[in-house]
Amino acid sequence: MQPIKVNLLPYKQRWFTVRQRLAWWLTTGSMILGTGYAVLLLALLTWQVVTQGQMRATLRRIDQTKEEVETLAGRESQQVLVKSKLTKVAELIRQPGITPVLRAIGNLLVLGVQWREIAVKSDGGIEVTLASSDVVAMGETLENIEKTASTDFKQIKLQSFTKGTNGEYNLTVNLR
């Protein structure tokens, strides 16, 4: 039996050509990649240096501006002082004064009844203590106060009604 002869030369030549091409592509590709990467790295370093420069310049400018602000600190202190005091005054004058309350209560009292104490509570309410030896007059006054619930005062709360040892009736109401 004759052995089969296969001519391998064309295959070897083809493989050689493929390998040559592969070598060319790999070499060229890696060189392009290397060059590109080097450019990228250089750009990155430049970016960092530029940013550091900008940062240094900004910090230097901040220091200079702070010095300028410091030289004008007197004006700032005065402006802050005026502003804070005005805010506080605005807050204080927004609170209702005692004079309108006094007038309103004075109008509600009937003959024989006097107010003894008017106190502004910390929650904004007003505590009024009335005194009279005439229980009827006291009742009428209370009725008058209740009638004003929707006008002068939004809320009226009877806190106590007592009779003292001197025979005087004391009525304490909370107004709001």
Partner 1 sequence: MKLNLAYWRQIYVQYGFYVLPVTIITAVVLLTVGVGIPKVKSTLELRQELKVASAKLARLTEKIVALQRLDETELSRRVAVMERVLPSRKEVGGVLLGLRQAALSAGVTVVSVNLAPGELATGSAGKLKQTTSGMEVEVKLTGQIGAVEEWLRLVEEEIVPVMRVKALAGGQDAGSWQLKVNLAAEYLPLPESLGAADKLLVGLSQEEEALYQRLVPRAGEVTTGTDLDQVPLGNPNLLQ
Instruction: Tell me which residues touch partner 1 (CB under 8 A).
Output: 19, 22-23, 26-27, 29-31, 33-34, 37, 40-41, 44-45, 47-48, 51-52, 54-55, 58-59, 61-62, 65-66, 68-70, 72-90, 92-93, 95, 97-99, 102-103, 106, 114-120, 131
Closest approach, Cβ 83 to partner 1, in A, equals 6
CA dihedral 99, 100, 102, 104 (to 10 degrees): 170
Q: Is 155 left (phi over 0), alpha (psi -120 to 50) or beta?
A: beta
Closest approach, Cβ 80 to partner 1, in A, equals 6
Closer of 44 and 135 to partner 1 (Cβ): 44
Closest approach, Cβ 115 to partner 1, in A, equals 8
Cα atoms found within 13 Å of the Cα of residue 53, Cβ hemisphere only? 6
Closer of 83 and 157 to partner 1 (Cβ): 83
Contact 141/147 with Cβ under 8 angstroms?
A: no
Closer of 41 and 149 to partner 1 (Cβ): 41
Closest approach, Cβ 120 to partner 1, in A, equals 5
Helices (H), 9-151: 9-71, 73-94, 98-108, 135-147
Instruction: Provide CB contacts within 8 A for 125, sequence distance 6+.
Output: 174, 175, 176
Closer of 44 and 136 to partner 1 (Cβ): 44
| Angle, helices 98-108/135-147, rounded to nearest 10 degrees | 120
Q: What does the block give as tokens for 73?
A: 């600190």
Closer of 33 and 149 to partner 1 (Cβ): 33
Closest approach, Cβ 81 to partner 1, in A, equals 6
